[in-house]
A and B are shown apart, each in its own frame.
Chain A
Amino acid sequence: MELTLPFKGSSIDTSELTASTNNVRVGKVFIGADGTEQIGTNPEITAQTVNLAANGRFDIPAGIHGGESRVNQSIPTFGEQTIIPGAASTTVPTAGKLGTGDIIVLAVENLIPEYIKKGAVVGGVTGTFSAYIPM
């Protein structure tokens, strides 16, 4: 024998329901805005830690993030550096690094025309020295 009992509160007022499938966790069953039983489609997103490259981009995945995700960055850095110029070249390894200070190239010590042989151009300075100094 089957008894038909009225549903408790026998009148679900579906008019106030607003949830739709994309508001509900994937797989979860609910009655939402259209008054019918539906299954949620909003995906679950696992918490993650992202290391962003320099000027990189991270697209936040749509869905329900169950925990805190983090976007970090760890670019190697270089601080202020002072270069004393000389006859040899100096390479400051800055490729792939973030500066936290400036690069300062000092003036070439004693680079004045009087110390340069006349007509010679040293470091952009044209010399004027033309004399014999008894040694």
Chain B
Amino acid sequence: MEIPIRKIGGTDTDNLTAVPGDVVAPKKFVGSGTEDTQTGTIIDRGSPAYVLPANGSIVLPSGNYSGGEVTQSLETSAGQIIGPGASKITTPANGKYFTGDIIVGGVTNLVPGNIRIGVTVGGVAGTWNGHVNDDPNRLLYYGALPPGQSFTAFPYAYNWSGGSAFINADTLRVSNEYAYNSAMQRYELQATAVVFDQAVDLTNFSYLSVSLRTYSVNNWTSRTPGVVIARNRLPTYLYTGISTYSFNTNLEEPHLLGYHTRLDNDFSISAYSGKYYVYLFTHYSGTTSYYADYELVYLN
């Protein structure tokens, strides 16, 4: 015979299933296995707040949690662009989390033409050799022309051969060859004129100074190198003939400032104002090729 046992208050402990391991400590209860009061053993962890170190690890032990969080507060940095220069640059990155890349820009304007020849800057070997002329009133400065300035070579005289003019190292070289002129069917010594392609304003200046470094025939007789100014640019011919001292009639207000009597010459321009084109010319009577190396042409 089975005798059911009634519990006081109608409570049937057989239904109870909770054991201490099911109940948070130190809560007390009546559960499975005994009618005695039992105490929960699950450790109560509460609601912890952890901060995770960079690339760290946190263990959440077993137990009862009412919530909680694991957070992190790494210093962050966006991407950066660094312009390198003459000084070392240190970008603090230790301990930072980057959301973008760090770009070290190329060194601005680091090209061979900006670097002195013979030296290497930032791995770029320089090629620049020469003077820099930033004064428009210095038409020629040791082989350097000011910004925007240029020159054109042409024959000194009508029906005559002109030679060549070019920047040779730190001078403007005008080269005249004794050569056969097929059009005129004769041998002749070339005579070259050069015009600076941009006019200059002579107002407020007293002299146009021209310095030759070398005049290879070194003969300061008449019709040696000379200087002409005119209102217009006309690179066809300066004079009507090699022995004729008449200007090309299409030149406007031409003036012969003078001939060189030595390497350095100051030609007075006090009488002139306004814009003029500057012409240099070479002429020598003989049968020997020669050249003239100009160093300086400037207003002062």
**A–B Cβ pairs within 8 angstroms, 6 of them:** A24-B23, A50-B70, A77-B55, A87-B124, A125-B86, A133-B116
Residues of A within 8 A of B56 (CB): 72-73
Q: A107 contacts B18, CB within 8 Å?
A: no
Report Cα–Cα, A84/B120, bound state, in Å: 14
A37 to B14, CA, bound (A): 11
Bound Cα distance A108, B272 (Å): 51
Give the distance to chain A from B8, nearest Cβ to Cβ, in Å. 4
Interface residues on A, range: 35 or more
With a cutoff of 8 Å between Cβ atoms, the chain B residues found around residue A20 in the complex are 27
Contact stretch, chosen from B61-69, B194-202, B228-236, B254-262: B61-69
Does B252 interact with chain A (Cβ within 8 Å)?
no
A28 touches B18 (CB 8 A): yes
CA A82 – CA B47 in complex, angstroms? 45
Which residues does chain B contribute within 8 Å of A106, judged by CB atoms?
Answer: 84, 88
Most interface-central of A23, A115, A127, A133 (chain B CB within 10 A): A23
A118 to B126, CA, bound (A): 13
Given A11-B8, A23-B40, A86-B124: 10 more A-B contacts, CB < 8 Å: A23-B29, A24-B40, A31-B31, A32-B27, A62-B65, A94-B101, A95-B100, A97-B97, A98-B74, A111-B85
Contact across chains for A40 and B104 when beta carbons are under 8 A apart: no
- Interface positions of A from 71 to 120, Cβ below 8 Å from B: 71-75, 77-78, 80, 83-112, 114-120
B residues within 8 A CB of A16? 28, 37
Chain B residues within 8 Å of A61, by CB: 65
Task: Please name the residue on chain A nearest to B76 by beta carbon.
Answer: A55
A4 to B130, CA, bound (A): 123
* Cβ of B296 to closest chain A Cβ, rounded Å: 13
Of B79, B103, B121, which is within 8 A of A116 by CB?
A: B121
Q: Select which of B73, B94, B114, B128 is within 8 A of A101 by beta carbon.
A: B94
Contacts of A124 in B (CB 8 A): 83, 85-86, 108
Is the beta-carbon distance between B120 and A123 smaller than 8 angstroms?
no
Bound state CA distance, A49 and B122, in angstroms?
Answer: 50
User: Which residues on the B side are within 8 Å of A59 (C-beta)?
Assistant: 67-69
Considering the chains assembled together, what is the distance between the CA atoms of A78 and B278 in angstroms? 65
Interface positions of B from 43 to 74, Cβ below 8 Å from A: 45, 47-48, 50, 52, 54-74
Q: Which residue of B6, B15, B45, B82 is within 8 Å of A105 (Cβ)?
A: B82
Contact B73 A55 (CB under 8 A): yes
Q: Which B residues lie within 8 Å of A88 (CB)?
A: 106
Q: Which residues of A contact B89 (CB under 8 A)?
A: 104-105
Residues of B within 8 A of A25 (CB): 18, 22-23
B179 within 8 A of A: no
Contact (Cβ within 8 A) A101 B60: no
Please judge, given known A-B contacts A110-B119, A120-B114, whether A12 and B107 are in contact too, CB under 8 Å. no
| A35 cross-chain contacts in B, Cβ below 8 A | 9
Complex Cα distance, B15 from A70, in Å, reads: 36
CB within 8 Å for A95 and B79 given contacts A32-B29, A40-B18, A86-B106: yes
Q: By CB atoms of chain B within 10 A, which of A11, A104, A118 has the most?
A: A118
Closest-by-CB residue of B relative to A87 is B110
Q: In the complex, are the beta carbons of B120 and A55 less than 8 A apart?
A: no
A30/B18 in contact, CB under 8 A:
yes
A29 and B14 alpha carbons, distance in the complex (Å): 10
